[in-house]
Amino acid sequence: MKKSLLALALISAAGACAPQQPPATATVPVRESPAHAVIPVPRSITLDRTERFVLDTSAAVVIDANASKEVAQVADYLVKLLAPSASGAVRTTGMAAGKPIRLSLDPSRSLGAEGYDLTVGAREITLVANTPAGLFYGVQTLRQLLPYSVEHPAAVGRKLSLPTGRITDAPRFEWRGMMLDVSRHFLPATDVKRFIDAMALYKLNRLHLHLSDDQGWRIEIESRPALTEIGGSTKVGGGPGGFYTQAEYADLVAYAASRFITVIPEIDMPAHTNAALASYPDLNCDKVAPPLYTGIKVGFSALCVDSASVLPFVQDVIREIAAITPGDYFHIGGDEVKKLTKAQYIRFIESVQQVVASNGKRMIGWGEIAPAALTQNTIVQSWIRDSSALHAARGGKVILSPSPKLYLDMKYDSATVLGLAWAGLVELRTAYDWDPATFIPGVGEASILGVEGPLWSETLEKAEDYERMAFPRLLAVAELGWSPAAARDWNSFRARVAAHGARMSALGLNFYRSPQIDWQP
């Protein structure tokens, strides 16, 4: 009881624009109301319940006169977010602002590559970081301290204000990701951009695109045009597929970068390759192209790894994609290979590792690749209880995507229409309530690069379907990846998620109304 009284006395998260809550009495039915609804929960947050910073036209975003282009871009992003409530343009120091919102870099502060320090006073906000990324994450916190009406710029008469206080913050893990399977069904670039925007709100920084599988090849390869002409022509269930041209992909990558998100392309091999096998007969041992595949079985296809045609193919594909991918990573899949011997598989993975390295990228592969002779630079993405501990033992890094916790395509409960259930049902609490550092024996905190929620799309036909499976579990992935273990708590999380329903609705995101949450109106 004492705890809820205290919570009520603090600022209501969803009602951040409203005056303070009336004092609670023991007879009033108490609805748990957190002091704030910031997700992922910051490392340190102290809010003052007596004063607020009110956004009005005397408020203006201010940067140093000699600020870098990237800092100016973050300031522009914030101006757009606050429009039309604050004054309309970024100002530079020297030009007076009634109520400045100052963004600056200060290398003398030890805030890390993505941390920030946000101080909100009644007449001034200061946001400091070591990097533009840190400023961007501070902006997302500021955004979440504002009422959800900030997501409705056209709303008439909305009042934006936020509690005064101080937040100092930095992420636990450098890898905070989600994966979109755009192969089983194709997701157009405009829909992927909506995901990118939502990821940014929750401080996720890695978007892994599963660009090829049995059912579809989704990125143009200029030297191998049939991959998209044939391999990209259909999808699960049949009907037209789709693909990104290289220009569209590059645009997507740049859009993600403007939100400090690195795109990781995945070309799954040697299995999950029917779309490629159907496009180029030479990749098959019998030189006969199989028909296109529109079902949802896995494991039946494999490149003819010992044929002379395969390595040049792999080289062409990796070279072309690496050339339009500024990020450090290239994901080669490597999962669920049933048609090769272990020796063939290991030899293939080791040769692909060389191709990836020679194109200047760090290789990532699913857990099955761990027994190969991987370099320390290679990253293993664990999805079942696999041998990723082998990689940790050799000093390599592991990304955790355990299917019974983070597979965003698993059904929430037995009534969920979309999704699969082979790894179990994954309600919100299941996704949230565990600790990455103790999950796999032999893969401790120091070996963990971070976490990622894969969203496989066998059953997802359109953006709304992808969204319904991703939200709200994506918020759990975000908090697992960002917040220190000591700051994470299911009851606190569930109270904060309650306030995000309205925000997700305002953003037009189709989310699952988990019965584990007392959604705020």
293 near ligand TNX, rule: CB under 6 A: no
Nearer to ligand TNX, 283 or 332 (CB): 332
Give least dist CB 14 to ligand TNX, A. 34
Q: Which amino acid is at 376?
A: Q
Give least dist CB 465 to ligand TNX, A. 14
Nearer to ligand TNX, 9 or 384 (CB): 384
Nearer to ligand TNX, 336 or 489 (CB): 336
Site string for ligand TNX, 3-42 (x = CB under 6 A): ----------------------------------------
Binding-site size, ligand TNX (CB under 6 A): 10
Residue 228 vs residues 212, 277, 282: alpha-carbon distances, Å? 10, 12, 16
Q: Which SS3 state, helix, strand or coil, does residue 93 take?
A: coil
151 near ligand TNX, rule: CB under 6 A: no
Return d(Cα 413, Cα 408) in angstroms, integer: 12
Return d(Cα 472, Cα 16) in angstroms, integer: 21
The set of long-range contacts for 87-94, using a CB threshold of 8 Å and a minimum separation of 24, is 87/57, 87/58, 87/59, 87/60, 89/60, 90/60, 90/61, 90/62, 90/63, 91/60, 91/61, 91/62, 91/63, 92/62, 92/63, 92/64, 92/65, 92/67, 93/62, 93/63, 93/64, 93/65, 94/65
Return d(Cα 298, Cα 236) in angstroms, integer: 12
Give least dist CB 181 to ligand TNX, A. 6
Give least dist CB 367 to ligand TNX, A. 8
Q: Which of 366, 412, 466, 512 binds ligand TNX (CB under 6 A)?
A: 366
174 is catalytic: no
Q: In what order do the strands lie in the sheet containing 91-92?
A: 44-55, 160-169, 116-120, 125-129, 99-105, 59-63, 91-92
Q: Which of 409, 452, 465, 479 binds ligand TNX (CB under 6 A)?
A: 409
Give the distance, in angstroms, between the CA of residue 273 and the centroid of all CA atoms in the same chain.
25
Closest CA to 236 of 2, 514, 457, 463: 457
169 near ligand TNX, rule: CB under 6 A: no
Could you tell me the two tokens for 67? Answer: 């600020």
Could you tell me the two tokens for 6? Answer: 């205290």
Q: Which of 335, 386, 427, 452 binds ligand TNX (CB under 6 A)?
A: 335
Site residues for ligand TNX, 72-131, by CB under 6 A, read none
51 near ligand TNX, rule: CB under 6 A: no
Q: Which of 298, 357, 437, 487 binds ligand TNX (CB under 6 A)?
A: 298
425 near ligand TNX, rule: CB under 6 A: no
Give least dist CB 409 to ligand TNX, A. 5
Strand extents, DSSP E, 1-43 = none
Give least dist CB 286 to ligand TNX, A. 24
Alpha helices in 149-245, H assignment, sequence order: 189-201, 226-229
Closest CA to 180 of 234, 103, 261, 107: 261
- The catalytic position among 51, 124, 174, 336 is 336
Could you report how far apart the first and last alpha carbons of the chain are, in Å? 23
Site string for ligand TNX, 377-396 (x = CB under 6 A): ------x-------------
Give least dist CB 7 to ligand TNX, A. 38
456 near ligand TNX, rule: CB under 6 A: yes
412 near ligand TNX, rule: CB under 6 A: no
Q: Which of 336, 433, 461, 489 binds ligand TNX (CB under 6 A)?
A: 336
Alpha helices in 160-214, H assignment, sequence order: 189-201
Q: Which SS3 state, helix, strand or coil, does residue 162 take?
A: strand
Nearer to ligand TNX, 77 or 366 (CB): 366
Residues found near ligand TNX in the complex (CB under 6 A): 298, 335-336, 366, 383, 407, 409, 420, 456, 458
| Positions marked active-site | 336
